[in-house]
Amino acid sequence: MIKPITAIVLSALFSTVSGLATAQDLASFHAGMGGCTACHGTNAVTAANVPDDEIDLNNKCMACHGDYKKLADKTKHFDPHASHLSDRSPINCTACHTAHAKPKLVCNDCHTFDLKMPFSDAPESAKWDATIDDEAVAAAEKSAPRETVDVLVIGAGSAGLNAAIAAKRAGAKVVLLEKHSFAGGNSMLAAGGYNAVGTPQQAKKGIKDTVDQYVKDTMKGGRGKNDPKLVQILAEGSADGVKWLEDMGADLSDVKRSGGAAVDRTHRPHGGMSVGPHIVDVLRAQATKEGVGARVNSRAVKLLLDKDYKIAGAIVHGKHSGYYKIAAKAVVLATGGYGQNKQMIAFYRPTFKDMTSSNNVTSTGDGITMALNIGASMTDIDWVQAHPTVGLDSRILISETVRGVGAVMVNINGERFVNELTTRDRASDAILHQPQKRAWLVFDSNLYKSAKMVQGYDHLGMLKKADTLAELAKICDMDAKTLEKTASDYNKFRKAGKDEAFGRPDMPLGIEKAPFYAVAVAPGIHHTMGGVAITPESEVLDIQSRPIPGLYAAGEVTGGVHGFNRLGGNAIADTVVFGRRSGEHAAAYALKAK
Ligand code: MEZ
C-alpha cells in the first residue's frame, strides 16, 4: 500500500532539499533561479496543484530551454531529443527529467543506452503507480465525482486515440486517460504496417485483392478460431481507416507483404519507415488539436457500475492528484494486452513465462483485470503470440518487414529451415526446433538501402556486416560453405520464380550484393490475442454473453479478432477500425442516455 501523495507540500520539499549541500536534483538547481514558482507558477505549490498531465511544467521547461528541435544534437550518435521526440506532438520533458528525484531515460524501458543524465545522483523515488491503495480507491468511490463526462477512454495507444477522436467528433464530452508519462502504448512500437484492402495504393500497384481474401487469410492465420463477424468488419473498414489517418496527415503510401497474406496489403510510410511511431505521432497531434489529448500519468484502477449493472465511470489514480472518481455514461477500454505482465503470462501461457517480450512496459493487462473484476467474459485469453524475430537477448523487434522485403532466415549452421513468410506461430515454432532455439536473418546491401528501419537496427549496433558471405559466416560463427550454398540456392530459386526448398511465395530480393548483413533473432512475446469478449458494436460481454451497458473495448485488450494467431499488419488495422467503431458506439450510447 502506498500513501497518496496529495498531502505533500512541494515548497517544503524544495526548501528541505535545497538546504542540503549535497542535493543534486533538478528542483534544487532551479531553486536558485526563483524558487518553486519558477516551475510551478504562483499558485499554492502542493503536489495536488500539479496537473497530472504535467503539460504546464513541460511548457515552462521549453520556455527557457527551447523545444526539442533546438535541443537536438544531431552530431551525437544517440540524442533522445533528436531520435524520438517529434515536433508534431512532443513528449513532455518530464517523461525523463524529474524535478525532485532521479531522472529516468524512458527509452531504456526497451533499450540499454549508457547515457548519464543531468542530476542522475538525485535520490530515487518510489514508482507512483507501483501498487493500488485499496483504501484510497474505496474513499474515492464514496466521494462525489471530480468530473462527469459522456465517454471515458482508458488507454492512449492507437485504439484509444482513435476512439477518443471518433467519440469527440460524434459530439460527446470525452476524457482520454493514459497511465504512462506519454501516449502511444504498444502501438508506438509497431513496426511493420497496417493491413488494408481496396486502397488507392493497392490499385496504383495493380494489386488484386478482395475483402474475401483478407478475411480468408486472417481466418487461416488465426486457425479458424477468429470471430468471423469481427474479421469481416476489420476487412471492410480497413481502407476507410487508411483514409481517416491520411486525412489527419499520415503517410501510408508504401504497400508490402506480411506473413500469411496472399498479396501485398501492409501499408506503411514511404522508405520503409516504421508505422507505429508515425501514426501515433499523427493521432496524438490530432487528438490534442481536437481537444481530446491524453491525460498522461493517470491510471484507471477500477470500473464502476450503477445499481442496474450499467457502467457509471471509473476510479482513477493520478500521479499528483491521487485517487478520484470520474462519472461516465460510457467507458471504452483501450488498455492493450498483457505481454509485459509476467504473472499473467505465467498463468495463461506458462510455456512462455521466461520469454523476452517486444511489448511496451504499458502492456500489463490492466483492462483485462478491471473487466474481469466486474464480470466481463474473456475470449481466447490464453492465446499468446511469439514473434519469431525479436533481436537476440534484447527487446527490439526485428520487423516482419525485413523478411517481407527479402531477408532469408538461417539456423546457427547457416541453413534455411522454413518459409520465411509463413505465419508467426509456425515460424516461431520452427526456430524453437533449431539448435540453440535461435536464428539469423541474412540480407544484402540492396535490402539495407531500401529499408530505413534496417538502418535503425544498424544504428542500435544490432547488425553484423561483412564484404563476403564467408566472412559474415565467420563473424556469426556459422559454417561458411553452408551459408554460401544457402544463398546460392536461394538466388537460383528466386530467378526461377519458385522456392523449391520451402515454398516461400515471394522473393523480392536475392542475397547478392555486398556488403552482407546478419542479425541474430529468437522468438519473443509479441501479442496477446485473447481478451474481453466483444460484440460487432464493440460492446463488452458479461459472462452470460450479454453486453455490459456502457462498456466498450477495442484493440489488444479484446479477443476474437485474431483467433489463435494474429497476422502481421492486423494489429494496427484492428486498433484503427475497432478504435473508431468503439468511440462512435460509445458516444451514441452515452448521448442517447443523456
Ligand atoms: O503487426 C505486426 O505485429 C507486425 C507487422 C510486426 C512486425 O513484424 O513488424
Q: What is the DSSP string of 178-211?
A: -SSSSS-GGGGG--S-EE-SS-HHHHHTT----H
Q: How far is the CA of 291 from the centre of ligand 1 (A)?
A: 31
The answer to whether the beta carbons of residues 292 and 176 sit under 8 Å apart is: yes
Taking the C-alpha atoms of residue 384 and residue 356, their distance in angstroms, rounded to an integer, is 13
Taking the C-alpha atoms of residue 219 and residue 226, their distance in angstroms, rounded to an integer, is 6
Residues 13-64: tens digit of each pLDDT: 433 444 444 568 888 888 777 778 778 876 656 666 789 999 888 888 888 8
Question: Which residue puts its alpha carbon closest to atom 2 of ligand 1?
Answer: 568
Q: How far is the CA of 339 from the centre of ligand 1 (A)?
A: 15
**Which ranges of 113-258 does DSSP label H, i.e. alpha helix?**
134-142, 158-169, 200-204, 211-221, 228-247
Mean pLDDT of 440-452: 95
Least confident of 165-179, 270-284, 547-561, 578-592: 270-284
- Return the pLDDT at 283: 98
What's the mean pLDDT when you consider all of the chain?
92
- Return the pLDDT at 435: 98
Residues 100-146: tens digit of each pLDDT: 899 999 988 888 888 888 898 898 888 999 999 999 999 999 999 99
- What residues flank ligand 1, with Cβ below 6 Å? 190-193, 258, 397, 399-401, 568-569, 571
Mutation probe of ligand 1 site: the residue of 390, 525, 526 with most atoms within 8 A of C-beta: 526
Mean pLDDT of 257-284: 93
- Catalytic residue list contains 424: yes
Least confident of 7-11, 127-131, 370-374, 389-393: 7-11
- Return the pLDDT at 157: 98
Taking the C-alpha atoms of residue 322 and residue 117, their distance in angstroms, rounded to an integer, is 28
- Return the pLDDT at 7: 33
**Which ranges of 349-504 does DSSP label H, i.e. alpha helix?**
366-373, 400-404, 424-432, 445-450, 452-459, 469-475, 480-496
Mean pLDDT of 472-493: 98
Buried b (16+ CB within 10 A) or exposed e, 511-542: beeeebbbbbbbbbbbbbbbbbbbbeebbbbb
**How sure is the predictor about 3, in pLDDT bands with cuts at 50, 70 and 90?**
very low
Ligand 1 atom nearest 266 alpha carbon: 5
Q: Is the pLDDT of residue 1 over 50?
A: no
Q: How far is the CA of 569 from the centre of ligand 1 (A)?
A: 6
Percent of the chain beyond pLDDT 90? 78
Q: Is the pLDDT of residue 5 over 50?
A: no
Q: Which DSSP symbol is given to 463?
A: -
Ligand 1 atom nearest 570 alpha carbon: 1
Percent of the chain beyond pLDDT 70? 95
What 3-state DSSP class applies to 259? Answer: coil
Residues 302-345: tens digit of each pLDDT: 999 999 999 999 999 999 999 999 999 999 999 999 999 999 99
Ligand 1 atom nearest 192 alpha carbon: 9
The set of cell numbers assigned to 38 is 519558477
Ligand 1 atom nearest 274 alpha carbon: 9
Question: Which residue puts its alpha carbon closest to atom 6 of ligand 1?
Answer: 192
Mutation probe of ligand 1 site: the residue of 189, 401, 422, 527 with most atoms within 8 A of C-beta: 401
Residues 174-223: tens digit of each pLDDT: 999 999 999 999 999 999 899 999 999 999 999 999 999 999 999 999 99
**How sure is the predictor about 4, in pLDDT bands with cuts at 50, 70 and 90?**
very low
Taking the C-alpha atoms of residue 496 and residue 189, their distance in angstroms, rounded to an integer, is 37
Answer with the residue of higher pLDDT: 46 or 298: 298
16 to 19, 22, 554: CA distances (angstroms): 5, 11, 46
- Return the pLDDT at 44: 59
The set of cell numbers assigned to 309 is 449493472
State the catalytic residue, choosing from 349, 424, 504, 566. Answer: 424
Q: How far is the CA of 107 from the centre of ligand 1 (A)?
A: 20
Mean pLDDT of 75-86: 81
- 293 closest CA partner among 150, 146, 92: 92
- Return the pLDDT at 15: 39
The answer to whether the beta carbons of residues 472 and 464 sit under 8 Å apart is: yes
Q: How far is the CA of 33 from the centre of ligand 1 (A)?
A: 48
Answer with the residue of higher pLDDT: 36 or 376: 376
**How sure is the predictor about 154, in pLDDT bands with cuts at 50, 70 and 90?**
very high
